[in-house]
Amino acid sequence: MKFKLLVMTVCFFVLILPLIYAEEMKYIYHPPESADDIRYNYHWELLNMALEKTKETYGSYVMKPSQDIMNENRQKDALKKGINLTIMVFDAGQELESMFTPVRIPLDKGLLGYRVFLIKKSDQPRFSSIKTLDELKQLSVGQGMSWPDVQIWKANGFRVVTGDNYEGLFEMLLRKRFDFFSRGIVEVIGEYAQRKTQMPDLAIEETILLYYPAPFYFFFQKSEQGKRLADRVEKGLLKTFEDKASFTPLFMKYHGDAIKRHNLKNRKIFHLNNPLLTPETPLKDKRLWFDPTQE
């Protein structure tokens, strides 16, 4: 009798567990904020790849955009309450990592931490002559008032000039309110292309590459369900990163032009510390980080 009961119990869990996973594996992300908003296309393609690589273990999944358009503050609120959102993408940091369940794998291999500068075209000789980080610190950097990067620059001894309007920062640069505008190597290409006709004095600096670790993570609700969703994604991302035949084409599809355009190997590289990172940041796991010397 006991043996029969045990067999029935095992059979029950064999039948019911796939149903549980099928119900719970819902990855609902925020939709684009406009028709031209393509900022997160790479992240959602990467997520899909990670989920596909875990189907054998976790079963089927649902991945779809929320019906609600959300800015960053609304995303945080929705995920915290578990309303119309089960996953979001944000930069690493103590506050978010304590508020939510992070998957501590840098989604773009930390590529956003590689920075080049927008400058006035006539200032290129001045930047070309810079040999040390201390020399660079003699110049001022422009940033958005609420950007976390402000704290990073200040912590490393730079004079930061802030603006409360993103578009206004380009004008501030050309009016010499600050000396350079630090931008990620991926984002700067489009920014420059959109403005070079209207702002002929604008240029991408050609000789310096600055780096500080600035990973973006997937975040989930701080709950049992959120942890299960996160566990699956973590395992899937590790499999994806190790499968270079799958991951490299995706990575280069979105980032290859920027890597080639900026001639990274031949630039002077300066390193900054990022005081916003937590001790759990996987800085020593070389599998997870982009290395410009290997490209």
Q: Is 176 left (phi over 0), alpha (psi -120 to 50) or beta?
A: left
Question: What six digits make up the tokens of 143?
Answer: 């940033």
DSSP 122-170: GGHHHHHT--SHHHHTTSEEEEETT-THHHHHHHTT-EEEEES-HHHHH
* pLDDT tens-digit series, residues 55-97: 999 999 999 999 998 888 899 999 999 999 999 999 899 999 9
DSSP 36-81: T--TTHHHHHHHHHHHHTTHHHH---EEEE-SS---HHHHHHHHHH
Residue 187 has pLDDT above 90, yes or no: no
What pLDDT does residue 211 have?
Answer: 96
Global pTM reads: 0.78
Q: 140-144 and 114-120 as β-strands: parallel, antiparallel, unpaired?
A: unpaired
What pLDDT does residue 101 have?
Answer: 98
What pLDDT does residue 21 have?
Answer: 45
Instruction: Please state at what angle helix 41-52 crosses helix 224-242, rounded to 10 degrees.
Output: 90
Least confident piece of the model among 20-29, 84-93, 110-119, 223-232: 20-29
Q: Give domain 2-108+216-259's CATH superfamily.
A: Periplasmic binding protein-like II (3.40.190.10)
How many Å apart are CA 215 and CA 76, to the nearest integer? 18
What pLDDT does residue 10 have?
Answer: 44
* pLDDT tens-digit series, residues 226-276: 999 999 999 999 999 999 999 999 999 999 988 988 988 899 999 999 999
CA dihedral for 217, 223, 229, 233, sign (positive or negative): positive
Domain spans in the chain, listed from the N-terminal domain onward: 2-108+216-259, 111-211
| Domain pair 2-108+216-259 / 111-211, same fold | yes
Q: What is the CATH architecture of 111-211?
A: 3-Layer(aba) Sandwich (3.40)
